[in-house]
Amino acid sequence: MNRRSQKVISGGIAAGLFVFAVASANAQAGARTGAWTYGAAPGEWVMPGYDYGLSRFSPLKQITTANVANLKAAWSFSTGTLRGHEGNPLVIGNVMYVHTSFPNKVYALDLSKPGAPIIWQLTPNQSPDAIPIACCDLVNRGTAYHKSGKIFIELLQGELLAIDAKTGKELWRAKHPDKSNAGVEANGYKQGATMTNAPIVIKDMVIAGISGGEFGVRGRVTAFDVNTGKQIWTKYSTGPDDEVGIVNGVGNANYASHKGKDLGVSTWQGNEWKIGGGTTWGWYTYDPELDLFYYGSGNPGSWNPDQRPGDNKWSMSIWARHPADGSVAWVYQMTPHDEWDYDGINEMTLFDKGGQKLLQHFDRNGFAYTLDRTNGKVLKAEPYGPVNWATKVDLATGIPQKDPRYGTTSKKNTEGICPAAIGFKDQQPAAYSPMTGMFYVPTNHICMDYEGVEVKYTAGQPYVGAIVRMFPGPGGYRGRFIAWDPTAGKDRAASTAWEIKEPLAAYGGALTTAGGLAFYGTMEGWLKAVDQKTGKVLWQFKTPSGIIGNPMTYTAPDGKQYVAVLSGIGGWAGIGVAAGIGAEDPTAGLGALGAFGDAAQFSTQGGVLTVFSL
């Protein structure tokens, strides 16, 4: 595949297309300084989650609960690729930047003209050999922007790419380094390492993660210089303290065992930590006041827990790091010795309430965690779905109290585990509203049977070690969209203000606005707008394909507010449709076909951006 950078509009574009305006209003209704929105105007969308806290809340309010029923499709754009379309566009000045699934095309669209014509497009040169290495579809979760005029995207084959925002020219590429295995830096995907998540820009560095937990990849994050692509630091999820970034011991405010030395080695059997997973393919957030960035690490390798006795630190953990050098401020492991593939990569949303600096995380394991983000203390951990693998999380220790009836092993098939490996929520990000103090959470409602199997590690080959069959949860439906109070209530019922049941998973992200609305998408392709307070569906539109992308909103040069969403079914839940896998084997697609084998009856492949206005 040849790289193609096509200039469609002349170089004399008005400077206003690329102006990065100073905000006159801040994200979260003035509750934070402009540093949280990178100095953006309220009508722009300059980060994957709108602001550094990943609130996905926009202060725009032209579209309200009173008039959203009049929302109409304004224009659409075909991305030119199929497979799963996760993430959302960015809007900077009068330009929208759109990304795609592999081969990770990037487009710049001119919002100042009718139909938003293409300014430039770039198809990065990548090896098709990376395609079979991707675990769960050829997705990409979005781009990042630096005020020097650069767009960054992570390429599936394991490179971070910097692009000139004005011209679409490639500026530099950097491979994700790894010193633990010879040859990885030069040929990451040949060792099983791919890149799918949205990077984050902090000051003059861009931080990127890695995928490949199902291939025995050792998880890590790397900071690169935004101007040169030079590696500033790399820190690992497993291994000795100096490689993890732990200096003189580090703890979580709940329990002292985190202060042991080299737990990233001693909690593994032998050298299993070197192929220990803990990959970092989820969402990243940053607190500019504390100068800490947050993210989660994924499952340990392999899925068969019998092969890796011990807590398997630091897989399945929430991390707070100092961006200057990557050193750890605190780390909290949610699921020690994971037996269910409950990746901890879901977003860490930052919010303030009652004078506390808080972090909210809806984990794959089915628990909703509220933490003090200054020290990692767990303040609340309640199920947001019908969890049965654990009875509770002990707030004094932070450790889940497991129910041995739902533990997994290679000695038997454990049946009826809730949630399934795909979690009661996967990567689809929730949104916070400072207007209600609640989170709006798109969820899966899926359970599973799980049996571990013996597996041997070979570089670049699958290292899974389990047979999984997923199926709808209690009640027979497969998704929910819920309003969750992160601080009130002592159980699931008290914390859930309302819920909407969905026949398929609500596998797209959420958006909240100052107009009192919450938007979310479904695997059938419906984009829905609901009242934040009541959960009443006020408007819906059927897009061309299933939605696993995240709705966003912006103001165009005509002064109108628009809402946009990518549709294109895929990801883990939609892998059957995206990859053309038949539904005959319910364990195919790492078990997803058991729950979503009929998805092709609801949606076809796609790759379309649909934009709406009043």
Residues with a catalytic annotation lie at 341
Do residues 573 and 523 touch, judged by C-beta distance below 8 A? yes
Q: Which amino acid is present at 97?
A: Y
Say how many C-beta atoms besides its own lie within 10 A of residue 122's C-beta.
24
**CA distances (Å), 198 to each of 54, 201, 363, 393, in order?**
12, 10, 19, 30
Which of 594, 565, 567 lies closest to 578, judged by CA?
567
Do residues 154 and 175 touch, judged by C-beta distance below 8 A? no
Half-sphere exposure in the Cβ direction for 311 (13 Å, CA): 20
Rounded (to 5) percent helix, strand, coil in the chain: 10, 35, 55
**CA distances (Å), 19 to each of 14, 60, 87, in order?**
9, 19, 23
- CB-based burial label for 72 (10 Å; 0-12, 13-18, 19+): exposed
Beta bridge partners of 114: none
Residue 192, phi then psi, degrees to nearest 5? 100, 0
List CB contacts of 370: < 8 A, sequence separation 6 or more: 358, 359, 360, 378, 379, 380, 381, 486, 487
**CA distances (Å), 399 to each of 337, 338, 509, 609, in order?**
11, 12, 28, 42
Question: How many H helices and E strands in the chain?
Answer: 5, 39
Distance between CA atoms of residues 212 and 219, nearest Å: 8
What is the number of residues in the chain?
614
